[in-house]
Chains A and B, each alone.
Chain A
Amino acid sequence: MSRPCPLPAQRPQTLDEIDRRIVVATQAGLPLVPEPWAEVAARVGVPVAEVLRRVRRMQRRGAIRRVALVPNHYALGFRANGMSVWDVPDERVGELGRRVAALPFVSHCYQRPRHLPEWPYNLFAMVHGRTREEVEAKVAEIAALLGEADRGHRVLYSRRLLKKTGLRLRPARGAPGT
């Protein structure tokens, strides 16, 4: 079930005008109809085959992480969200990050910089659970997987969502449907 998620090899070129229109037409989700891309194509003003070709190209280049269903964790009953942060040796972070990311309950997994001395953690893994106890059990699983590479960790539970708008590209000037 694990799918490759192509990562951009280098900073890709800026999207062209038609790509941007496709982003604007789909960033809030596809229409839930039998031929969703045909509706997108009509809004963008190009044939559906071209939309499909461009979307696949954006996937290959990593501009699209994946095309998938985005669940609302909170509404689905996963009320506890813990950002677990780990101090692991830099030379092992690649190998360990891949193994942590493969755990079914990890929804994001990144290497990020330390800010010494107050922030020694370089591996971030978001863990969702129905309760805080469930998150704690999952964090213990990560700790067991990391073994002695875990030189220290913390779990930061969310207390309150203060804003959630998501990334939004503004429609280009003069684009159709804007």
Chain B
Amino acid sequence: MPAAPELDALDRAIVNRLQAGVPVVERPFAALAAELGTDEETLIARLRALAERGLVDRVGPMYRAEAMGGDVTLAAMRVPPERLEEVAARVNAYAEVAHNYERDDEFNLWFVVAVERPEDVGRVLAAIERETGLRVYDFPKLREFCLGLRLEV
């Protein structure tokens, strides 16, 4: 397994601080740079480098599908191991499937379905059940709990 990536103290401070939030102002990086004891140009250069190295996915708004008029759910299936590849391929073929993980459990396939029209969640889950002959368990969020501190690097 490759070692954890090299990050200096400023990179770490940037990743830790910016996970908590970026102000919605015209020059957000100038405000954050002052807080981190650096300057705007350096902060932007560091962020670009972190993104290029794949250590940061993006900086920006995190949207909630269900609050934009759409809907999102987590679904799971118990797939016989010998059918996993086939079933995963069928599930992934739906554009509405945003993430899909194989997990080490009897419930071994876990995927997120995100749609622009709420009624499409049921349609997609039912279609997957029909196509695979396997039950799809729907785990919509009933409540979301706000997070504290983010991942410390």
Chain B residues whose C-beta falls within 8 Å of the C-beta of A105 in the assembled complex: 151
Interface residues of A in 84-142 (CB under 8 A from B): 93-94, 97-98, 100-113, 115, 119, 124, 128, 130
Is the pair A159, B26 in contact by a Cβ cutoff of 8 Å?
Answer: no
In the complex, which range does the number of interface residues on chain B fall in?
A: 35 or more
Chain A residues whose C-beta falls within 8 Å of the C-beta of B47 in the assembled complex: 32, 69
Is the pair A29, B105 in contact by a Cβ cutoff of 8 Å?
Answer: no
Q: How far is the CA of A97 from the CA of B147 in the complex (A)?
A: 10
Beyond A112-B139, A112-B140, whether A100 also contacts B145 by CB under 8 A is yes
Extra pairs beyond A7-B144, A29-B57, A73-B151 (13, CB < 8 Å): A8-B64, A11-B66, A11-B67, A30-B59, A34-B40, A52-B25, A63-B67, A69-B19, A76-B15, A77-B5, A124-B74, A157-B104, A170-B116
| A2 interface residue (CB < 8 Å to B) | yes
| B134 interface residue (CB < 8 Å to A) | no
| A79 interface residue (CB < 8 Å to B) | yes
- The residues of A with any CB-CB pair to B shorter than 8 Å are 1-5, 7-8, 11-15, 23, 26-30, 32-38, 48, 52, 55-56, 58-59, 61-73, 75-79, 83, 93-94, 97-98, 100-113, 115, 119, 124, 128, 130, 154, 156-167, 169-170
Is the pair B140, A113 in contact by a Cβ cutoff of 8 Å?
Answer: yes
Chain B residues whose C-beta falls within 8 Å of the C-beta of A77 in the assembled complex: 3-5, 153
Q: Classify the interface of chain B: helix, strand, loop or mixed.
A: mixed
Is the pair A101, B147 in contact by a Cβ cutoff of 8 Å?
Answer: yes
Cβ of B127 to closest chain A Cβ, rounded Å: 17
**Which listed residue, A12, A48, A63, A70, touches B57 by the CB 8 Å rule?**
A70
Cβ of B9 to closest chain A Cβ, rounded Å: 15
Chain A residues whose C-beta falls within 8 Å of the C-beta of B104 in the assembled complex: 156-159
Q: How far is the CA of A103 from the CA of B150 in the complex (A)?
A: 9
| B36 interface residue (CB < 8 Å to A) | no
Beyond A73-B151, A128-B151, A161-B101, whether A4 also contacts B146 by CB under 8 A is yes
Chain A residues whose C-beta falls within 8 Å of the C-beta of B128 in the assembled complex: none
Is the pair B141, A110 in contact by a Cβ cutoff of 8 Å?
Answer: yes
**Which listed residue, A30, A75, A107, A154, touches B55 by the CB 8 Å rule?**
A75
Is the pair A76, B92 in contact by a Cβ cutoff of 8 Å?
Answer: no
| B10 interface residue (CB < 8 Å to A) | no
6 contacts between A and B (CB under 8 A): A1-B148, A35-B27, A69-B15, A69-B59, A110-B143, A111-B143
Residue among A4, A65, A79 facing the most chain B CB atoms (10 A cut-off): A65
Is the pair B63, A34 in contact by a Cβ cutoff of 8 Å?
Answer: no
| B34 interface residue (CB < 8 Å to A) | no
Q: How far is the CA of A8 from the CA of B103 in the complex (A)?
A: 31
Residue among B29, B109, B151 facing the most chain A CB atoms (10 A cut-off): B151
